[in-house]
């Protein structure tokens, strides 16, 4: 009996040690996959529509399930919606690697895909994007208040070039329906105002999030001229963690960003009064 009890204790101890080692390995590896967290959506008019929150819509949004695979394909790859329709995309990554779903025009997706090849470590954070780790699911709620043909794609380096793209066709609606749509006039505008003239290598931005645990800043920024990068919302690492104490969400800033080893770092930052 004593032998059996000792064996049971040894078995439990082995399991606990195994779990501890597994946990340590996971944390030590540093998971770079990032999934959109529940946060207030910034309503910003884009050429292909405007962000929405499911709970803020008058009716339950139409749900469209999207599958992404390592064959670099979306299913379905063609989506048809009506002008003014709010859609909740539920995006499942059925592959074994990170994929993403990004709405936009072909011109904008081409531009961002080229940037991803140039800066493979860059991380976007926009309401029309979902970054989905293997086996996980992401969501986007979007109102298509502009008619036309638009696109969606995975912009991870190599995936876009392999043909991981799809299309959204938005058909016209009645004038009454169009008049009721949200517009940029009722939404928060995108580009932060440029406060004053600064050095050429400083860029204008607005702090959206300060994450001291991961030592990152989410910044809605204008063009970063020294990196030949257009305005967008991105997650930046910081060269010095002390920079995180200088700013808070909502601050208008001027900052300097540099490419270091494939990652884009904020090296200097100052709040603009």
CATH fold, domain 50-181, is Immunoglobulin-like (2.60.40)
pLDDT over threshold 60, residue 216: yes
Antiparallel, parallel or unpaired: β 86-93 and 73-75:
unpaired
Instruction: Give the pLDDT of residue 176.
Output: 46
Instruction: Give the pLDDT of residue 234.
Output: 83
Instruction: Give the pLDDT of residue 44.
Output: 82
Q: What is the distance between the alpha carbons of residues 230 and 153, in angstroms, rounded to a whole number?
A: 19
Which pair of structure tokens corresponds to residue 18? 């195994």
Instruction: Give the pLDDT of residue 235.
Output: 84
pLDDT over threshold 80, residue 15: no
Instruction: Give the pLDDT of residue 58.
Output: 54
Q: What is the pLDDT of residues 155-178, one digit of tens each?
A: 998 999 999 999 999 998 554 444
Q: Are 61 and 141 in contact (CB under 8 A)?
A: yes
Average pLDDT over residues 130-151: 94
Instruction: Give the pLDDT of residue 30.
Output: 33
CATH fold, domain 203-271, is OB fold (Dihydrolipoamide Acetyltransferase, E2P) (2.40.50)
Higher pLDDT, 181 or 25: 181
Q: What is the distance between the alpha carbons of residues 139 and 86, in angstroms, rounded to a whole number?
A: 13
Average pLDDT over residues 74-95: 94
Residues 6+ apart with CB under 8 A from 252: 192, 193, 195, 204, 205, 206, 271, 272
Mean pLDDT of the chain: 77
pLDDT-based confidence at residue 220 (cuts at 50, 70, 90): confident
Instruction: Give the pLDDT of residue 54.
Output: 57
**Residues forming CATH 2.60.40.420 domain(s) in the chain:** 50-181
**Residues forming CATH 2.40.50.320 domain(s) in the chain:** 203-271
Strand partners, 257: 266
Average pLDDT over residues 266-273: 89
Instruction: Give the pLDDT of residue 3.
Output: 42
- Long-range contact list for 196-205, CB < 8 A, 24+ apart? 196/272, 198/254, 200/225, 200/226, 201/225, 201/226, 201/256, 202/254, 202/255, 202/256, 202/268, 203/254, 203/255, 203/256, 203/257, 204/252, 204/253, 204/254, 204/272, 205/252, 205/253, 205/254, 205/255
**Coil, strand or helix at 3:** helix
Q: Are 101 and 124 in contact (CB under 8 A)?
A: no
Helical segments of the chain, H only: 2-29, 106-118, 175-179
Instruction: Find which of 16-25, 44-53, 144-153 is predicted with most confidence, using mean pLDDT.
Output: 144-153
Q: State the pTM of this model.
A: 0.60
């Amino acid at each position: 009996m004593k032998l059996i009890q000792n064996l049971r204790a040894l078995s439990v101890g082995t399991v606990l040690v195994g779990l501890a080692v597994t946990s340590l390995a996971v944390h030590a590896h540093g998971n770079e996959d990032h999934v959109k967290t529940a946060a207030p959506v910034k309503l910003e008019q884009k050429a292909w529509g405007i962000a929405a929150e499911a709970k803020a819509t008058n009716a339950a949004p139409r749900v469209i399930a999207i599958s992404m695979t390592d064959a670099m394909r979306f299913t379905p790859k063609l989506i048809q919606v009506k002008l003014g329709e709010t859609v909740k995309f539920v995006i499942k990554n059925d592959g074994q690697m990170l994929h993403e779903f990004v709405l936009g025009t072909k011109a904008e997706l081409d531009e961002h895909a080229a940037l991803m090849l140039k800066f493979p470590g860059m991380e976007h954070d926009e309401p029309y994007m979902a970054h989905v780790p293997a086996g996980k699911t992401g969501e986007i709620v979007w109102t298509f208040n502009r008619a036309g043909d638009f696109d969606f794609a995975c912009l991870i380096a190599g995936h876009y070039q392999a043909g991981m793209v799809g299309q959204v066709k938005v058909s016209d609606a009645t004038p009454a329906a169009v008049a009721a749509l949200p517009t940029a006039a009722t939404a928060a505008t995108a580009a932060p105002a440029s406060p004053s003239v600064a050095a050429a290598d400083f860029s204008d931005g607005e702090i959206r999030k300060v994450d001291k645990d991961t030592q990152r800043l989410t910044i809605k920024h204008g063009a970063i001229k020294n990196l030949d990068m257009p305005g967008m919302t991105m997650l930046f690492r910081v060269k010095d963690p002390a920079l995180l104490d200088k700013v808070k969400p909502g601050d208008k800033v001027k900052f300097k960003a540099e490419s270091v080893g494939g990652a884009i770092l904020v090296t200097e930052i100052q709040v603009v009064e």
